[in-house]
Structure 1
């Protein structure tokens, strides 16, 4: 993996970049995801859950940042992130939902997502678990084999198929940095031709049911195992 002195130009950072700051932003993002999920209940309308999520972020001292706060229920979990949800979807007693947030903590970007299940539907439970498991499988390949972002997503696609899912390439991973990363690089991880550096990229995994009934999502920063254990 490249050292900080030999980073690809796409992996440059801004003047406020800080390892500790990025880890703080990540920690606060993951905690906010847990707090939002704990407040979601069957019978809620998706739009109300989004409003609640925004309020939780603000109350946590985080700024709403560089992409919309998303909470998606049921059939909306298959939609690409840039496509608006079908309005008025209500979370059922046996259902799946995911959270996708991109808050900012002081100068640093957070970005994270995870899927959750209410009830006991085995397909939903497996899909949510597989999205997170595949994220970590891809992360381990990145750590151990130092392959390019392109090859990481090729591996992710193969593994998703072996699990019985489709991988949504509309969510191909992206840079993360001190705010705003878009001033440095806007290309995707799935198009990155070299091995990604730590603490520079968000790996996104969006699994779709082949029959397009539901999906599950997990995303987090590419970090080594020691950084994960800090959370």
Structure 2
């Protein structure tokens, strides 16, 4: 096994399979959202917020380790279905990491199914010899949420490899832009993500590009209003606190689509934004 290091991310693992090569280039979720306005205040200084930040980091580290084990098990093999891989991931996480709880549906998507955001239920599909896939998991560790996704190419198709390699590059550009302007609004980040994807030759696949993360369940605590997503309708600074004064912690997701003249597939990558 040869280990590569991704820019601003955990190690990327490349490993041979019996019939092909799986290359981890180190790789949405909402419909019918209530759009009523929600006010927010500027985030307070650290305190209990710092404890949550550390808990989220700890959950993130466990998610990274979970993915490393998934990759070492060579689960993405041609001939296997998405459902088979998903069940194996669930059993692995339960046995080795002690979690059976996920704050969002576990996603293993391959081929043409990779074009769909999370709220679209795609039919089960068999992984092929020359294919593309992503895994997106939201495991809950000790009642704290993680959210992590990576993209994979099975085989050596140059366009799939190019798209998959673009994902961490786009992610890092967008994260760097956010870090230079942490008070940007959700709409401003979404616009920047779309423009960056287009600069790399891809279209963005979802109606938002970032969302909150916290103690389980942040969706119950904060709701699904636009202010809690980086999307065109959110004109609140992302650095603003929740109405109760809590600091808000974000993850950034990049979901891109291949030009349809080349193929019907996409790629997905997700990681921490301001933690």
Fold conserved (TM > 0.5)? yes
Which one has a bigger Cα radius of gyration?
A: 2
Task: Tell me the distance in 1 between the aligned counterparts of 2:53 and 2:188.
Answer: 26
Secondary structure of the 1:202 match is: strand
Contact 2:77–2:127 (CA under 8 A) maintained in structure 1: yes
Question: Displacement of 1:189 after TM fit?
Answer: 2.1
Q: 1:14 to 1:99 in 2, by over 3 A?
A: farther
1:115-170 CA-to-partner distances (Å, cap 9, x unmatched) read 01111111111111212211111000011133222111111101111111110123
Contact 2:193–2:209 (CA under 8 A) maintained in structure 1: no
Q: 1:93 to 1:66 in 2, by over 3 A?
A: same
* Counterpart position of 1:47: 83
Residues 1:180 and 2:229 are matched in the alignment: no
TM-score normalised by length of structure 2: 0.71
Higher share of residues assigned strand: 2
Aligned residues: 215
Q: Which blocks of at least 5 consecutive residues in structure 1 are unaligned?
A: 225-231
Secondary structure of the 2:270 match is: strand
1:18-60 CA-to-partner distances (Å, cap 9, x unmatched) read 2221111001112222322442212111110111111122122
Residues 1:32 and 2:70 are matched in the alignment: no
CA RMSD of aligned residues (A): 2.5
Residues 1:20 and 2:38 are matched in the alignment: no
Higher share of residues assigned helix: 1
Match of 1:214 among 254, 257, 265: 265
Q: Which blocks of at least 5 consecutive residues in structure 2 are unaligned?
A: 1-40, 241-246
Contact 1:98–1:216 (CA under 8 A) maintained in structure 2: yes
Match of 1:124 among 149, 153, 160: 160
Task: Tell me the distance in 1 between the aligned counterparts of 2:187 and 2:142.
Answer: 32
* Counterpart position of 1:114: 150
Tell me whether 200-209 or 126-135 shows the greater mean CA deviation: 126-135
Question: Displacement of 1:192 after TM fit?
Answer: 5.2
Question: Displacement of 1:220 after TM fit?
Answer: 1.2
Question: Displacement of 1:16 after TM fit?
Answer: 11
* Counterpart position of 1:189: 230
Secondary structure of the 2:166 match is: helix
Q: 1:14 to 1:76 in 2, by over 3 A?
A: farther
1:1-231 mapped onto 2 (5 Å cutoff): 6-7=42-43, 18-37=52-71, 38-59=74-95, 60-87=97-124, 89-146=125-182, 147-182=184-219, 183-186=221-224, 187-190=228-231, 191=234, 193-196=236-239, 200-211=249-260, 213-223=264-274
Secondary structure of the 1:67 match is: coil
